[in-house]
A and B are shown apart, each in its own frame.
Chain A
């Protein structure tokens, strides 16, 4: 904007504003409500006003979901290479690794959830928006293959911005690879529960995230195929706020249930129980 006066006013306002430590308050990106971080964290990072389920790390998700000490990680040492020699890609991965303490955007492994054994997949949006490149595709595929071998159900907490552009066509092919692994797991008669978390979009929505026998979503999270701005650019109008929300998907028949974070562990474990083999009619 060519308005020097306004710029000055804004920067003056910024300087005079009392400095609030960055991690003291949480402002909800959905409703704009502000709460103390302590209260927000105590409430499992859910907005107390609109119940938007904010993004959490895969370590936090694991803690909330798996029985303590039950998790055994698979394929922890897979890391990305740079197939297109795309400038800056290695640096970007290294920065994400430093920020998150993770090697890639997904962790996979075996655990129990209220004593029920399963293979668990957890994506972490802090790592390059959990985009799916070779490593994510390979880890997810191996997790399904192991579950098929061992006769275990799979529980996948998805979050992703989509395919990892920096890996070009190879990232696209991970959609086919993971979906084929889901198909074999399904053919073996095994249960696959998807939990869609914020945000699940693009190539992950268009592959394994949409293929669960049971699809759960956290409240108010973003789920979609195309990016909102891309669609707004196509249709040249603003989209309603609830477009591509969990509730929007439930209404249109693409989600089985919306479950709050506080009830997630219990719900998943009950669903695992409902699919245990060898059930007999108790007469």
Chain B
């Protein structure tokens, strides 16, 4: 794969491109059949998360994904891909169903974050995400997650506790949006461009941190230039991961999944830096960061200020 020279901010603009393929575009390109299943059986059906049963290379899998739209109309329907608790609970229900029928789970992450609103709080947004983290860590079937575009915070992680995490080469995954980061740490949301670079949120950065297991190449110029080609690359990644994961015993699978997250952390213990801890000398230098930039006006709404 050729080196991707785009800055984090340039990638952010690319993944917010209206034409960027969404999970709804990719599903028919990657899978032979797809049967959408609805609802969390508790409250309702959240259109921000799609779920269902699909077939790929002769086997059944469960597909879950956060749904962006290409235009305002579609985005209104899917709440700009900001799920409510019932979305996460639908995902969990379908994940348990997959476990029952020994189907691998394929999660597509593409969200600015979990929705921040009154109803979301009333229905326990924090609990819904926490429950997914706990349950997915013990799900007795392979879980593969792929970041398609934005991997925004806990709302992304709720579909991100997996055995293998792949990221499209221009996708980003972070603890908060650059805008939120700049607003909280610098009290100046307009410095989001600068924040994007300092946050180390590119796929390459996440490989270094041990979060991301593989970078999936996009079509030259970005996924929207050739969705079919990009979908083919995603399919290859899924197939490779499935080949590897389906050979493992459930006990080994769960042990490896636990350790994947267990080892992430950077700290010092009694003056010593423990082995396995990612050190700053492995990180890219800060010399290539841009000067304090003037902010570029974007269409970003408050929805992106998601914790």
Contact = CB atoms under 8 A, between A and B. Distances in A.
A84 B198 contact: yes
Choose among B129, B264, B307 the residue with the greatest number of A CB atoms under 10 Å from its CB: B307
Contact of B137 (A180, A206, A209): A180
Contact of B307 (A82, A210, A230, A252): A230
Contact of A203 (B154, B198, B261, B278): B154
Contacts, number: 213
Interface in B275-290: 277-280, 283, 286
A187 interface: yes
A37 interface: no
Interface in B187-208: 198-201, 205-206
Contacts of B154: 163, 172, 175, 202-203, 206-207, 225
Contacts of B302: 230, 233-234
Interface stretch (A11-19, A112-120, A130-138): A130-138
B12 to A, nearest CB: 15
Contacts of A135: 265, 267
A20 B152 CA distance: 46
B209 A180 contact: no
B201 A137 contact: no
A94 to B, nearest CB: 13
Contacts of A233: 302, 305
Interface string B267-307: 11111010001111001001000000000000000110111
Given A83-B283, A230-B305, A170 B127 contact: no
A272 to B, nearest CB: 22
A83 B278 contact: yes
B122 A252 contact: yes
B124 interface: yes
A82 B114 CA distance: 27
A224 B126 contact: yes
A143 B6 CA distance: 42
Contacts of A264: none
Contact of A182 (B134, B175, B211, B265): B134
A231 B306 contact: no
Contacts of B307: 162-163, 201-203, 225-227, 230
A225 B114 contact: yes
B211 A173 contact: yes
A85 interface: yes
B117 A235 contact: yes
Contacts of B27: none
Contacts of A206: 114, 125-126, 129-130, 133, 154, 158
A100 B173 CA distance: 33
B241 to A, nearest CB: 18
Interface string B242-261: 00000000000000011001
Nearest to A215: B127
A204 to B, nearest CB: 8
Interface string B107-136: 000000010111011111111011101110
B75 to A, nearest CB: 15
Contacts of A203: 153-154, 175, 307
A179 B130 contact: yes
B237 interface: no
B18 to A, nearest CB: 22
B49 interface: no
Interface in B164-197: 173-176, 181, 184-185
Contacts of A85: 280, 283, 286
Contacts of B257: 180
Contacts of A169: 173-175, 199-201, 205-206, 209, 211
Given A173-B264, A184-B258, A225-B116, A210 B137 contact: no
A108 interface: no
Choose among B120, B137, B266, B269 the residue with the greatest number of A CB atoms under 10 Å from its CB: B266
Contact of A180 (B123, B262, B265): B262
A176 B165 CA distance: 14
A102 B187 CA distance: 27
B223 interface: no
A177 interface: yes
B129 A225 contact: yes
A80 B265 CA distance: 9
6 contacts: A77-B271, A80-B268, A84-B199, A179-B133, A208-B130, A226-B120
Interface of B: 114, 116-118, 120-127, 129-131, 133-135, 137-138, 153-154, 157-158, 160-161, 173-176, 181, 184-185, 198-201, 205-206, 209, 211, 257-258, 261-262, 264-271, 273, 277-280, 283, 286, 302-303, 305-307
Given A172-B157, A226-B307, 14 more contacts: A78-B267, A84-B199, A85-B280, A135-B265, A169-B200, A170-B278, A176-B137, A180-B134, A180-B258, A184-B258, A205-B130, A206-B130, A206-B133, A226-B117
Interface of A: 75, 77-86, 134-135, 137-138, 141, 162-163, 165-177, 179-184, 186-187, 201-203, 205-211, 224-227, 230-231, 233-235, 239, 243-244, 252-254
Query: Considering the complex of A and B, which 6 residue pairs feature the smallest CB-CB distances, nearest first?
Result: A205-B126, A226-B116, A179-B133, A180-B137, A134-B265, A225-B126
